[in-house]
Amino acid sequence: MPPQPPDFPSGTSILEGRDLVVEVKETRVLAVDRVDVIGGEILAVLGPNGAGKSTLLRVLAKLQKPDRGSVSVHGTSGREADALLRQRSAFVFQRPHLWAGSVRENIELGLKLRGTPSVEMAQHVERAAAQLGIDTLLDRDARSLSGGEAQRVAIARAMALNPEILFLDEPASNLDALARGALIEDLDRLARDGRHATVIATHDRADAFSLADRVIVMRDGRIVQSGQPEDLFENPVDPFIAAVTGAELSFRATVVSADEGLLRIRVGNSSLTAVGAAAAGDQVRVVYRPEDLFLSRARIEASPRNRFPARVTEIRQAGSLERVRLEGDGHHWVAVITRAAADELALELESEIWVQVKATALHAFHV
């Protein structure tokens, strides 16, 4: 059967997992009461390594049998659901295996398994390759590709199938920052065509929040909280969620102007430059990593777009690092610097210092 566009409207639940339990040597690696995948949505599964994200994805995709519980697809279960999922889903693994042969043969594989006629198959291959920007690689030996190229081939291979549900397991985890950014951008564009549901597992909150309609946060095999990104920021159920989502390291802002992903935002009294997809007038949430803040005694001219004075309100030691809370223009920031750097700067409470942060370190999400 050739790939088909989904014949169920968006907004209805197409995949339902109930009471899922997976045990490895008596340890529960997954214990999830309920998880639904809604047609057309992008669902991010966020959590630290070992939280059970991959296991949940594999179980939902019926690639792994849970020790207990059930997964139903469009209301069917058992063999029927299994066959339906094989026909209508595609799974991109964290370490995708590219089969011996050319890139084209790799992208054709899933189509061949579905018995797609060759003319149609060529069209699907060309389309998917173009979407992922790998048209020029089609005749290369698949085993000769770089990590980023291989990951794109693996995604193109899945996209060529026009899946109703696309599973992505840490699709950007072993890429360098540049390739990662480009890939996430492409995924954002592809996932938002609204035609298929995407389930993406990631440990990177920026990835999760920039892509997802809905986020599930996992820890120790359990779902700790789920909801829309803004809910998680606004109402974290516990400090873990706050840490995972980076609620403490985020703030709301208003977009003043937007130019090709580069946003001018206003927060408190100051104006900053951030990256993200939003339009002028939009309310956004901005997240950052505390290690991306640069501190200096004097104002210096450097490449970071954002530069402002601040006052030290708290210093806490964390091993060889120091966690510094700052207040600038009526807004709170957190920076993490090394002990040596703190000594050099002679940091103490009430110190006046300059903060610099690159625009690309401030990720803004529409709320």
Partner 1 sequence: MAGQLRRAAVLLLLASIGACAGPEPEPQVVHVGSTTSLYDSGLLDTLVVLFEARNPDLQVRVLAVGTGQALEVGRRGDADIVLVHAPDAERKFVAAGHGRYRVTFMQNDFVLAGPAGDPAGLGTVEGEDPAPEALGRIAAQDAPFLSRGDDSGTHKREQQIWAAAGVEPAGAWYGETGQGMGSTLVMASERQAYTLTDRATLTVLGSAVDLEPLVAGGPSLQNVYSVMIATAGANQAGAVRFWRWLLEDQAKQVISGYGVDRYGAPLFFPLEYDIPTVDPEESGAATALNPFQRAWVLLFSGDAYLWDVIWRSLAISGSALLLAVVIGLPIGIGLGLSRLRFKLPVVALVNTGLAFPPVVVGLLVFLLLSRRGPLGPLELLYTPSAVILAQVILAGPYIIAVTLAALEGVPADVRMQARGLGASRFQAMMLHLRESRASLVAAVAAGFGAVISEVGAVMIVGGNLLGETRVMTSAIVLETRRGNFGVAVALGIVLLVIALIVNLLLTLLHVRRVRAPAAA
> Interface residues with partner 1 (CB under 8 A)?
58, 61, 63-64, 86-87, 89-93, 95-100, 109-110, 113-114, 141-147, 150-151, 157-158, 161, 167, 174
Q: Which of 347, 26, 308, 36 is nearest to 165 (CA)?
A: 36
Q: Which lies closer to partner 1 via its Cβ, residue 43 or residue 232?
A: 43
Q: What residues contact residue 130 under an 8 Å CB cut-off, 6+ apart?
A: none
Q: Which lies closer to partner 1 via its Cβ, residue 82 or residue 126?
A: 82
Neighbour count for residue 302 (Cβ, 10 Å): 11
Instruction: Find the shortest distance in angstroms from Cβ 302 to partner 1.
Output: 34
Instruction: Find the shortest distance in angstroms from Cβ 143 to partner 1.
Output: 4
Instruction: Find the shortest distance in angstroms from Cβ 185 to partner 1.
Output: 20
Residue 66, helix vs strand vs coil: coil
In contact, 236 and 247? CB cutoff 8 Å:
yes
| Phi, psi of 284, deg, nearest 5 | -130, 160
Taking each helix axis from N to C terminus, what angle separates 103-113 and 118-132, rounded to the nearest 10 degrees? 130
| Phi, psi of 149, deg, nearest 5 | -65, -45
Instruction: Find the shortest distance in angstroms from Cβ 270 to partner 1.
Output: 42
Q: Which lies closer to partner 1 via its Cβ, residue 20 or residue 158?
A: 158
Q: Which of 177, 171, 163, 201 is nearest to 39 (CA)?
A: 163
In contact, 329 and 268? CB cutoff 8 Å:
yes
127-137: string of b/e by CB count within 10 Å (b at 16+)?
bbbebbebeeb
Q: How far apart are CA 241 and CA 236, in angstroms?
A: 6
Instruction: Find the shortest distance in angstroms from Cβ 150 to partner 1.
Output: 4
Q: Which lies closer to partner 1 via its Cβ, residue 92 or residue 191?
A: 92
Q: What residues contact residue 299 under an 8 Å CB cut-off, 6+ apart?
A: 307, 309, 354
Q: Which lies closer to partner 1 via its Cβ, residue 31 or residue 165?
A: 165
Residue the block writes with tokens 């296991």: 55
By DSSP bridging, strand 27-38 and strand 214-219 are: unpaired
| Phi, psi of 53, deg, nearest 5 | -65, -50
Instruction: Find the shortest distance in angstroms from Cβ 199 to partner 1.
Output: 12
Instruction: Find the shortest distance in angstroms from Cβ 257 to partner 1.
Output: 39
Q: Which lies closer to partner 1 via its Cβ, residue 82 or residue 231?
A: 82
Q: Which lies closer to partner 1 via its Cβ, residue 86 or residue 222?
A: 86
Q: Which lies closer to partner 1 via its Cβ, residue 116 or residue 356?
A: 116
Instruction: Find the shortest distance in angstroms from Cβ 195 to partner 1.
Output: 18
